[in-house]
């Protein structure tokens, strides 16, 4: 990565106990134009030490690892570094699906499934298509955290317009008498004749709802389950 862009880069740490997956994830990170791979780790304990030293913006964290698994590592990251985002990497078995939901409830930004394609090229393409939008999201969150707070400027309120003391307004003309015909025309309509929102007979009730979408932010799975 060119040195001129390092200040704007997203620093990423890859954590996985499998050397093969560390290599695949590292390659996917390097292919993203605004990413800066600051290191890799093979277990949660090594990951915590690397975060302390490198202070990455994002950690790609495996769930199943020796020494210190991904769930406990995530807990410790959230308790010590609020400015570090975490994306979990999980398999496709039912046990890891439950752990993934637990990780989301603990504050993980999102999760990606480890590639299971028939060929290395297919697996890498699937991983990149899933990972790249999350890297964009993490980079946006990083920019918001480091952006200086907007300074509020006082709003200039124009002074009230006051007529000069010497100015006198012309007298109002006397009211014109209303003719009987005009009073009949000007008589307001009765309330029954006024249109109301309930009287819209042309409105039809909505049809069958096919889909309900609920969006939640980080930590939202707990609220969604409730």
Q: Rounded to two decimals, what is the model's pTM?
A: 0.64
Residue 122 resides in a domain: yes
Could you list the residue range(s) of the whole structural domain that residue 102 is in?
Answer: 3-143
Crossing angle for the helix pair 120-146 and 19-31, to the nearest 10 degrees: 60
Return mean pLDDT, the chain.
78
The CATH number covering residue 109 comes to 3.40.50.2300
Half-sphere exposure of residue 198: CA atoms within 13 angstroms, side-chain side: 1
Low-confidence ranges of the chain (pLDDT < 70): 1-7, 92-97, 117, 148-202, 205, 217-226
What tens digit of pLDDT does each residue of 54-99 get? 999 999 999 989 899 999 999 999 999 989 999 998 876 656 667 8
Residue 36 resides in a domain: yes
Residue 129 resides in a domain: yes
The total number of structural domains in the chain stands at 1
Task: Give the pLDDT confidence score for residue 41 in this predicted structure.
Answer: 96
DSSP classification of residue 8: G
Residue 171 resides in a domain: no
């Amino acid at each position: 990565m060119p040195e001129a862009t390092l200040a704007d880069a997203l620093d990423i740490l890859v954590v996985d106990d499998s050397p093969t997956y560390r290599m695949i994830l590292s390659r996917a990170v390097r292919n993203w134009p605004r990413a800066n791979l600051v290191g890799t780790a093979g277990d949660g304990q090594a990951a915590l030490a690397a975060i302390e030293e490198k202070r990455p913006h994002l950690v790609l964290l495996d769930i199943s690892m020796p020494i210190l698994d991904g769930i406990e590592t995530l807990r410790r990251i959230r308790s010590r570094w609020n400015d570090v985002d975490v994306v979990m990497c999980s398999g496709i078995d039912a046990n890891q699906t439950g752990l993934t939901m637990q990780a989301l409830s603990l504050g993980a930004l999102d999760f990606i499934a480890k590639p299971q394609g028939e060929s290395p090229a297919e697996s890498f393409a699937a991983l990149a298509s899933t990972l790249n939008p999350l890297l964009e999201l993490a980079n946006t969150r990083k920019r918001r955290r480091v952006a200086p707070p907007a300074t509020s400027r006082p709003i200039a309120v124009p002074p009230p317009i006051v007529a000069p003391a010497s100015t006198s307004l012309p007298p109002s003309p006397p009211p014109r008498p209303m003719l009987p015909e005009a009073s009949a025309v000007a008589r307001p309509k009765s309330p029954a004749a006024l249109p109301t929102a309930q009287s819209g007979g042309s409105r039809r009730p909505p049809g069958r709802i096919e889909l309900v979408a609920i969006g939640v932010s980080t930590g939202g799975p707990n609220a969604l389950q409730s």
